[in-house]
Amino acid sequence: MNEQRVRVSVDAHGVAEVILARPDKMNALDPAMFEALTAAMERLRGDAAVRAVVLHGEGRAFCAGLDKSSFEAMMRGDRSFGDIERRTHGLANLWQQVAWGWRELPVPVVAAVQGVAFGGGLQIALGADVRYARPDTKFSVMEIKWGLVPDMSGCVFMAELLRADVARELTFSGRVVESDEAVRIGLATRICEDPLAEARALARQIAGSSPDAIRAAKRLLNGASAVRADAVLLAESREQQALIGSANQVEAVRAGLEGRAGAFR
């Protein structure tokens, strides 16, 4: 695992902590971060002693989304991301797995969110079972700014958590949502002055309960979703594959990086 991107620990009670550890870049997602997060999930899935997971970002942000260099590569026409329609991790591809994988872990995942959770960072947070946020945290479905759609399993999570018109408005606009609204609409569970302390306390409580019942409860709640995750995850990838590198998507990236309005065809 790339320790420069993600740190993982498991205490004597079975509480795991997964820390996005790229604070100088607001924990932005680059290829190494994707690989490290996936490796962290695999490590936790293989550890029968793990009873709960606390997920958080180091520094002033949870995760600012995709790294700027990735958008610059898109603008240059770099398609090294490969065939994102290919399912490499069960129902998901690598990019979806860093968010969807929290849902598939057999134990509860509690996210502590501070600063910003934008774009892919928001989708990772939505993959957690519970999200505690500081009062000043900001959230955004920001993909539209870059001529893209949420394709890291965000469409599955938003369909479960949000009213349909709210999900559409946030996706179409990319507007920034403050913590109080995030709780009202379902992006966050509740506001905490110290979300990391609260997340650790909940995880410790979960770890003290019957692990059989906790795992059964997560399976039941996962199974109760009305969303066909397999179909939606594949549809996300197909739509994104068609957008990446297209003329209007490249113009969206260029405009975003240059701080101007896009001139779309």
Q: Any residues with CB less than 8 A from the CB of 158 and at least 6 apart, and which? A: 126, 141, 150, 167, 170, 171
- Classify residue 24 by its DSSP letter: G
Question: What 3-state class would DSSP assign to 131?
Answer: strand
Q: Which two tokens stand for residue 85?
A: 């329609």
In what order do the strands lie in the sheet containing 109-113? 6-10, 15-20, 52-57, 109-113, 130-133, 190-191
Backbone conformation region of residue 239, classed left if phi is above 0, alpha if psi is from -120 to 50, else beta: alpha
Q: Which of 205, 224, 227, 226 is nearest to 216 (CA)?
A: 224
Whether 143 sits among the annotated catalytic residues: the reply is yes
Q: Which two tokens stand for residue 101?
A: 């994988």
Distance separating alpha carbons of residues 176 and 138, to the nearest angstrom: 6
The one catalytic residue in 17, 143, 198, 236 is 143
Write out the DSSP string of 184-220: HHTS-SEE-SSHHHHHHHHHHHHHTS-HHHHHHHHHH
Interhelix angle for 31-45 vs 94-104, to 10°?
30
| Residues with catalytic roles | 143
